[in-house]
């Protein structure tokens, strides 16, 4: 049985509407041990026949048998296996990897065949010595002469140890002396192999040929047996799939062996990374800016940096717990007087209301002022304040308020202080958000009064008088609760208007029970109505002018100590402010681990532009997706141009038996190496810019502040996916046809 047998095999080429013949109705049997020389004029079909024999090209009719097996049903994978097991190719143009050394070119075929790198060194050195290139083993193929390159090609075919070696014009590009050495070398290796040589110059091989075939116009005209040969029957060697380590080795070698290619690919990927980063951060900024248009009908301070917390068991915070919370990463401030943050406090005088919705803080937090002065011990009394404005204040405007007296009114209409004197003004000229408001710094005594007034506003006040219950929660409580140091502890003074709620319209010496209840606690006690007052007696009994009586009609006055006893001074709810709102989720997780209820302010606000901004964000996402698609095709086009110079290498991999998966994996790993290097360069530069070490560019710095670890990972995944798709698309193109069709495209 012949090793190779062709029965009426024909090869045709299709070019648009034209069909040409490569060869027609060829019948041929070839055996192991033969040295077959095929000659003929140009266009006779001899090279085409060689390509079909070697599995580099397909055929259209007839049947090619390999060891008696039909091949007309072969798929590309079958041909890949055939080339790996049976064929060693020697090309006229050598088909070496010019950036590889002699050793690496020969090593390539063994690595593709799944052999371990550490086990093949001896075999490679032996075959290099056989072709007399030992002193050139570490020389790159690009620096070799034509004859030396052909020796490398022969060595590569030999080390593969296949039963068939095909050589297309092996002496066509070398001088006469080198040609003689090559022909002799081919003869020496033909004793146990089938060697098929295509040549124009039969005389160079006449001495060694065992069989001569002459072709003309696509047909075999002469098939002459010149020498008897012994039949050799050897099983083709068995091969393993390429090892993953071998893929890594080849991919790393390919990534760095051509410096200009490596530089260009990294540059392209760096530009791609910057483009994806820019588009992604623009999308993030759009979503973030959308937060800036949020507002709240409930909360006074709806900053996205604010988190409201309380304990799940509704108990009070201890000082140790507050200290622990303040040390959480990204936390900049813990406000124990959370209830005051959303308190609507007004600063006004007799002429007009000057400021609305001001924040209240401790005067001790102020270190310096722009206009006026800080409190001076012994000179400034209890009723002093410092005003901080959100924005600039002119000197003339400041003088209108300095040392003037104002009235501080709480959100429930209670007068906290009648004669509050502003002694200093400072400005807040930092970058502001929509939630920035003015702040009034007051003394601790006034701050305590505001706390009490605010707790009263947010609590249900329940008064039992004359065995009847009146509650602010169900709006049956129609009188106010105030404090005055004129009232003895344990007693209450009530206005004469309240007498209508008592028997005989007289509340004097009646018992009174007051309770305060809210989400966290309930306090209360019994009082004795020690006196009543009216317009004519309000000054004598409480110290107010009779003109102010209307403010205190239907009012119950109790001693300040009793008043404060109603309101537990412990901290049950706090606000936490973060440094970076983009990392707020990490902060909330840390708080939740402390068994706390956590409420992010950004989740409790609504957008004032509603669906309009929703469409803006949606449009931004669509634009991002479109930009990624456009970037992909632009990047693919540029990388395709860069890799086009490597198509010979990829085709060489195919001739050596590398299948589509092998080629795809090699290309994938190589491009992933390039994109990872580009990404490392990009992230290093970005981190340096973010920490203002280099390139102090405000725009890039602003973009970088929107980046979290999650964003780095997302962009990395996007880039990896794009690189893999580029590699897959390009490898599909390389496997779009037969090996020879790819060769013809690259020529």
Q: 307-344, pLDDT tens digit by residue?
A: 999 999 888 899 999 999 999 999 988 888 787 777 76
Question: 746: closest CA among 655, 659, 670?
Answer: 655
| H or E element at residue 613 | helix 611-643
Q: What does the pLDDT average to over 660-669? A: 89
The count of other CB atoms within 10 Å of the CB of residue 371 is 20
Are the CB atoms for 152 and 131 separated by under 8 Å? yes
Q: What is the pLDDT of residues 552-599, one digit of tens each?
A: 889 999 998 898 888 766 888 899 989 888 789 999 999 999 999 999
d(CA 613, CA 607): 8
Q: What is the mean pLDDT of the chain?
A: 84
Q: What is the pLDDT of residues 693-704, one digit of tens each?
A: 776 666 666 666
3 state DSSP class of 20: strand
Please compute Rg for the chain using Cα positions.
Answer: 46
Class of CATH domain 4-240: alpha beta
Query: Which residue ranges make up each domain of the chain?
Result: 4-240, 246-288+612-746, 294-336+572-608, 338-443, 460-565
Are the CB atoms for 724 and 668 separated by under 8 Å? yes
d(CA 554, CA 476): 13
Class of CATH domain 294-336+572-608: alpha beta
Q: Which residue has the higher pLDDT, 8 or 410?
A: 8
DSSP for residue 132? T
Are the CB atoms for 404 and 352 separated by under 8 Å? no
Using alpha carbons only, what angle is made at residue 411 by residues 410 and 416, rounded to the nearest 5 degrees? 10
Using a pLDDT cut of 90, give the percent of the chain over it. Answer: 33
Beta-carbon contacts of 370 under 8 Å, excluding residues fewer than 6 positions away, are: 393, 398, 425, 426, 427
Same fold, 4-240 and 294-336+572-608: no
Q: What is the pLDDT of residues 203-247, one digit of tens each?
A: 989 989 999 999 999 999 999 999 888 777 666 667 788 889 999
Q: What is the pLDDT of residues 243-255, one digit of tens each?
A: 899 999 999 998 9
Are the CB atoms for 581 and 305 separated by under 8 Å? yes
Q: How many CA atoms lie within 13 A of 340 on its CB side?
A: 20
For residue 291, the model assigns a pLDDT of 53
Beta-carbon contacts of 41 under 8 Å, excluding residues fewer than 6 positions away, are: 216
């Amino acid at each position: 049985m012949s090793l190779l047998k062709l029965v009426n095999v024909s090869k045709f080429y299709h070019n648009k509407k034209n069909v040409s013949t490569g060869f027609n109705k060829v019948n041929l049997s070839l055996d192991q041990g033969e040295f077959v020389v095929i000659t003929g004029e140009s266009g006779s079909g001899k090279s085409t026949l060689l390509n079909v024999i070697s599995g580099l090209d397909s055929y259209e009719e007839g049947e090619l048998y390999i060891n008696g097996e039909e091949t007309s049903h072969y798929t590309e994978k079958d041909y890949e296996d055939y080339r790996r097991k049976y064929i060693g190719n020697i090309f006229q143009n050598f088909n070496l990897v010019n950036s590889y050394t002699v050793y690496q070119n020969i090593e390539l075929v063994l690595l593709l065949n799944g052999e371990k790198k550490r086990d093949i060194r001896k075999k490679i050195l032996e075959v290099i010595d056989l072709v007399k290139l030992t002193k050139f083993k570490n020389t790159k193929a690009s620096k070799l002469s034509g004859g030396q390159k052909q020796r490398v090609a022969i060595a590569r075919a030999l080390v593969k140890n296949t039963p068939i070696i095909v050589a297309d014009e092996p002496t066509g590009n070398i001088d006469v002396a080198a040609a003689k050495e090559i022909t002799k070398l081919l003869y020496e290796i033909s004793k146990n192999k089938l060697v098929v040589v295509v040549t124009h110059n039969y005389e160079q091989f006449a001495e060694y040929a065992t069989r001569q075939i002459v072709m003309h116009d696509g047909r075999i005209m002469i098939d002459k047996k010149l020498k008897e040969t012994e039949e050799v029957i050897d099983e083709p060697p068995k091969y393993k799939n390429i090892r993953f380590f071998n893929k890594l080795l080849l991919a790393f070698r390919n990534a760095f062996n051509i410096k200009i290619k490596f530089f260009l690919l990294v540059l392209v990927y760096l530009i791609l990374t910057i483009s994806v980063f820019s588009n992604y951060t623009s999308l993030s900024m759009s979503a973030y800016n959308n937060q800036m248009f949020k507002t709240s009908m409930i909360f006074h301070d709806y900053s996205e940096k604010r988190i409201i917390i309380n304990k799940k068991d509704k108990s009070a915070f201890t000082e140790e717990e507050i200290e622990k919370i303040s040390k959480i990463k990204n936390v900049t401030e813990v406000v124990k007087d959370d209830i005051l943050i959303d308190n609507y406090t007004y600063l006004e005088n007799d002429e007009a209301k000057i400021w609305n919705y001001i924040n209240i803080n401790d005067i001790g937090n102020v270190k310096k002022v722009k206009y006026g002065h800080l409190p001076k011990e012994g000179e400034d009394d209890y009723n002093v304040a410092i005003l901080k404005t959100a924005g600039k204040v002119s000197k003339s405007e400041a003088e209108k308020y300095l040392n003037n007296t104002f009235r501080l009114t709480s959100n429930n209409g209670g007068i906290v202080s009648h004669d509050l004197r502003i002694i200093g003004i400072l400005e807040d000229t930092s970058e502001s958000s929509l939630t920035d408001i003015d702040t009034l710094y007051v003394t601790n005594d006034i701050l305590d009064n505001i706390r009490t007034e605010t707790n009263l506003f947010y609590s249900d006040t329940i008064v039992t008088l004359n065995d009847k219950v009146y509650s602010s929660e169900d709006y049956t409580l129609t009188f106010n609760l105030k404090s005055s140091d004129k009232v003895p502890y344990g007693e209450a003074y009530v206005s004469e208007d309240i007498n209508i709620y008592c028997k005989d319209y007289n509340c004097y010496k009646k018992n009174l029970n007051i309770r305060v209840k809210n989400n966290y606690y309930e306090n209360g006690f019994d009082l004795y109505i020690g006196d009543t007052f009216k317009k004519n007696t309000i000054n004598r009994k409480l110290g107010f002018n009779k003109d102010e009586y209307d403010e205190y009609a239907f009012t119950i006055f109790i001693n300040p100590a009793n008043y404060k006893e109603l309101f537990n001074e412990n901290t049950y709810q706090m606000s936490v402010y973060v440094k970076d709102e983009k990392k707020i989720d990490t902060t909330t997780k840390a708080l939740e681990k402390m068994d706390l209820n956590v409420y992010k302010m950004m989740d409790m606000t609504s957008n004032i532009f509603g669906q309009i901004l929703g469409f803006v964000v949606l449009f931004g996402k669509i634009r991002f997706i479109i930009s990624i698609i456009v970037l992909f095709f632009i990047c693919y086009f540029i990388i395709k141009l860069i890799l086009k110079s490597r198509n010979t290498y990829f085709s060489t991999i195919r001739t050596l038996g590398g299948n589509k998966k092998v080629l795809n994996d090699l290309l994938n790993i190589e491009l992933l190496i390039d994109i990872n290097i580009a990404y490392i360069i990009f992230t290093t530069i970005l981190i340096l810019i973010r920490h203002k070490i280099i390139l102090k560019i405000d725009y890039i710095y602003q973009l970088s502040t929107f980046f979290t670890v999650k964003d780095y990972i997302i962009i990395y995944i996007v880039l990896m996916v794009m690189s893999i798709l580029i590699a897959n698309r390009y490898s599909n193109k390389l496997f779009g046809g037969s090996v020879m069709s790819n060769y013809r495209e690259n020529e």
